[in-house]
Structure 1
């Protein structure tokens, strides 16, 4: 679906009652799963029994095959991307079966393994076999242990992911009250490398609006090209108006842009933020929306700033045209936070940045999402098989790029929302990621006119502030 307009519909009932007995789960109005919170008194429940009930499976945790495929022959990438999208679809369908069968899961400890995780492993085994064959056919070598990535586990929402901070208790398709924190209780923590001799101190700002056009779709042309609903969540778009799952580089080069400077036809996109106020969007029954457990009223940003900064230690080189960069990890709740990168804060408090919590802002302050994209490029590739290894982050202490990488203008996206203070909003996510703030991410394809991109780099290297 290329465009979706905002529509107010009937008010949904919210999950407001904490359960005090060993019930299985409730289904949210949008089809989401809410695992049980058990607040039983000692005289009502045996402690061991209460602990077992509290571990009702809330989501499905599968190894992320895409990140393991760092070396896929170019000739096989189209087929492999399609198979990776099939894995995501399988997880979404298994998650929905889990949501639809919580009573059975609560009655039978083996139900999840036998009826959901076992069949899912069989499906994944077949796909992984096809991925391996695609790679071999193109002259490559599948990574060791690929077949071992077929098995998934059931996970209670309060079970920590590897390398991640523990998830909050309670469960549900999210968010939960404990996903939020009062920004005034957070200590200042924002740090940046100090500029050194030779730094490129300038910046270039491109004004592309805030998606007043209402361009949304649940595609991801970088990760799942040619696959409708490849993201299983809705994206906001600014910049290139031709962007969907089927856009070729030529399509993007010829597309209209919302950017004031028509030389910038880049595509900038990120998961929408929804206010969970009981109001439906008109995607409540659509892919990426309600069918993927993303419900609530989509919020148009109050402002969007797109700025390209320099390097604290060197000059920058122009970005190559059609360079693709993903920052953050849409699956960080189950993957762990190694690739998580989005930051959450509030206006007036942006020296305090959160990665795994949503902020509760005081009156008069607005919610801020910030994405600092990778600022180092391998000098050769505009993409890579896992969409990560062709770019890298600067060293957080020194600001230097890894050996063999070149500094490029760093895209910094700052997105501001005017939402009511307190819990009640969340970003769209893959269903099994439970709308956790750590899953936030941004995507960018550079479709600057090459002459304009050279001017951008020159401006930054001179130390000017350009628009």
Structure 2
């Protein structure tokens, strides 16, 4: 995927909001979107498009809870994971975009798991610390809300889109492979090459929508690509397993997305001045050269040992990332180098040497692995290994004290309260969630993918009977709230699926029953409350971080979750709910 490497500062800081894009899609069924931006109106008025804001009193009650039946599970289990007071902000999305650094192109609040990044394995998640008081290591994350009173240009988004070629971006399979047995190396390389060819062909199809958003074409391209990638990735897994290697479990890497990240070049505001120093840069994260894609075929007798060492390398990076969070602000300028990066390099040298020795017992010792030991922080320019393959320029990382990205600027509003609760099912008992279950709710891209999975999430405290797909204007004394309900039904087998959705489902809105073949699980709900000054609400000066093409569309709100509760804790949650109790 080609990315812009330089940024051209503009006078205006954040572009105008999209004018009711989701509403147009929903009302007309049109899938080819034409942007009409009116925020700012070419004046010094700092207000955004006020059509995207609504007094909550004007929203009709629309929340209906099915009446509990005799077999209902009516309990409730709450978890206190804090409000991201430790400042774990990241533009990664480990659920929807595993392995893609900064792939969300907007910043998330993270609570719970401390080590999680786009690259975290299940073992990494399980070894992490947590912000949750009951020891829950699950990861809960959602886009941040910002206040930005700056003047906005009504033409920036349209102009940026007109210059943008949409591109297909896919998670890298090479970077996530286990040790590949020597006997299968040639075949696996052939399958990987075919994955590359499919992505290239998909991008050729995307040239038809240069300068515009065509959700119908996006769906056609992504659906076809998903089916073909699923077949190839399944073949990679079965080939490795049949030769005695570890089952990769790579279903999370199947789905691709359409990216409009080229818009960043035209939307890079004055707040992103070149004077931002590395010390100010937000979201420090460990960046290490990949190893899995650099290994030759591994002799059968060495496969198990090499896999153990690959997993150890992953755990070392996760531990270092967790230390970046928990030691933030400690020591002087050299603290990270001396206390985190230096020890990490020493550990990696030892592990890489063990891998090379294991391979050399039955085959020539791989050369150049030692060059992969050194790591940097993500905001510092990394020096690639001498023989490392060229890679595209990375998506932009957050900058400055407000963790800003192109198009996502202004001060982040910290939640006043985050309520995490697991709820029952109105017609049946619940079974425990499987460990490492992935789930998401809402859709970050209702404009470019269509609104089918988008969900209204906005309300105000005291108005629990209604949810809006616009930003709410709340009465005095009422908090702005986001309510995210996750699917409460599970297929009984899978912790993820090719589109990250099909393994879970929402219960029927009227009856509360799960679809056929699914069983009820503790249904996760997060309620995020904010103290936002009423004048900021009335002037339309707060908004959600978003992908560039969504331009802060309130209907693009979403939430993600990975269950890392122990089996014992999840059983306790299910038992509490089934007995109709309130527990924590």
What TM-score do the two structures reach when normalised by structure 2?
Answer: 0.52
1:193 Cα deviation from its structure 2 partner = 1.1
Aligned to 2:12: 29
Aligned to 1:351: 465
Q: 2:120 aligns with which of 239, 247, 264?
A: 247
1:162/1:277 CA distance change after superposition, 3 Å: closer
> For residues 567 and 435 of structure 2, what CA distance do their matches in structure 1 show?
7
> For residues 59 and 443 of structure 2, what CA distance do their matches in structure 1 show?
23
> For residues 22 and 480 of structure 2, what CA distance do their matches in structure 1 show?
28
Aligned to 1:194: 67
- Residue correspondence of structure 1 range 227-246 to structure 2 within 5 A: 227-246=100-119
Higher mean displacement: 284-293 or 387-396: 284-293
1:246 Cα deviation from its structure 2 partner = 1.3
Q: Secondary structure at the match of 1:306?
A: strand
Residue 338, structure 1, aligned to residue 463, structure 2:
no
Q: Is the 8 A contact 1:369 1:416 kept in 2?
A: yes
1:28 Cα deviation from its structure 2 partner = 6.2
Q: Is the 8 A contact 1:317 1:409 kept in 2?
A: yes
> For residues 160 and 401 of structure 1, what CA distance do their matches in structure 2 show?
29
Aligned to 1:447: 564
Aligned to 1:150: none
**RMSD, aligned α-carbons:** 2.7
Q: Secondary structure at the match of 2:418?
A: strand
> For residues 553 and 55 of structure 2, what CA distance do their matches in structure 1 show?
16
Aligned to 2:431: 317
Residue 219, structure 1, aligned to residue 82, structure 2:
no
1:406/1:226 CA distance change after superposition, 3 Å: same
> For residues 254 and 202 of structure 1, what CA distance do their matches in structure 2 show?
30
1:253/1:342 CA distance change after superposition, 3 Å: farther
Aligned to 1:287: 397
Greater relative contact order (Cα 8 A, min sep 6): structure 1 or 2? 2
Q: 2:528 aligns with which of 415, 418, 433?
A: 415
Structure 2 spans left out of the alignment, 5+ residues: 1-8, 41-46, 152-270, 273-279, 283-378, 380-395
Task: Write the deviation string for residues 15-36 of structure 1: whole angstroms up to 9, x where unpaired.
Answer: xxxxxxxxxxx96633x4459x
Q: Secondary structure at the match of 2:466?
A: coil
Q: Secondary structure at the match of 2:578?
A: helix
Q: Is the 8 A contact 2:115 2:124 kept in 1?
A: yes
Q: Is the 8 A contact 1:329 1:341 kept in 2?
A: yes
1:334 Cα deviation from its structure 2 partner = 3.2
> For residues 415 and 404 of structure 2, what CA distance do their matches in structure 1 show?
21
Higher mean displacement: 304-313 or 415-424: 415-424
Aligned to 2:215: none
Residue 270, structure 1, aligned to residue 142, structure 2:
yes
Q: Is the 8 A contact 1:190 1:352 kept in 2?
A: yes
What TM-score do the two structures reach when normalised by structure 1?
Answer: 0.64
> For residues 190 and 157 of structure 1, what CA distance do their matches in structure 2 show?
22
Q: Is the 8 A contact 2:479 2:530 kept in 1?
A: yes
- Residue correspondence of structure 1 range 57-456 to structure 2 within 5 A: 161-163=24-26, 170-171=37-38, 175-262=48-135, 264-278=136-150, 287-288=397-398, 290-354=404-468, 356-421=469-534, 422=537, 423-456=540-573
> For residues 437 and 335 of structure 1, what CA distance do their matches in structure 2 show?
15
1:197 Cα deviation from its structure 2 partner = 1.1
1:248/1:169 CA distance change after superposition, 3 Å: same
Q: Is the 8 A contact 1:204 1:459 kept in 2?
A: yes
Q: Is the 8 A contact 2:435 2:563 kept in 1?
A: yes
> For residues 158 and 272 of structure 1, what CA distance do their matches in structure 2 show?
21
Question: Computing the radius of gyration over CA atoms, which structure comes out larger, 1 or 2?
Answer: 2
Q: Secondary structure at the match of 2:26?
A: coil
1:157 Cα deviation from its structure 2 partner = 6.5
1:273/1:33 CA distance change after superposition, 3 Å: closer
Q: Is the 8 A contact 2:22 2:553 kept in 1?
A: no
Q: Secondary structure at the match of 1:221?
A: coil
1:224 Cα deviation from its structure 2 partner = 1.7
Q: Is the 8 A contact 2:25 2:447 kept in 1?
A: no
1:162 Cα deviation from its structure 2 partner = 3.5
Structure 1 spans left out of the alignment, 5+ residues: 1-25, 36-57, 59-155
Q: Secondary structure at the match of 2:549?
A: helix
1:186/1:34 CA distance change after superposition, 3 Å: closer
1:257/1:159 CA distance change after superposition, 3 Å: closer
1:371/1:169 CA distance change after superposition, 3 Å: same
Q: Is the 8 A contact 1:204 1:466 kept in 2?
A: yes
Q: Is the 8 A contact 2:16 2:49 kept in 1?
A: no
Q: Is the 8 A contact 1:243 1:267 kept in 2?
A: yes
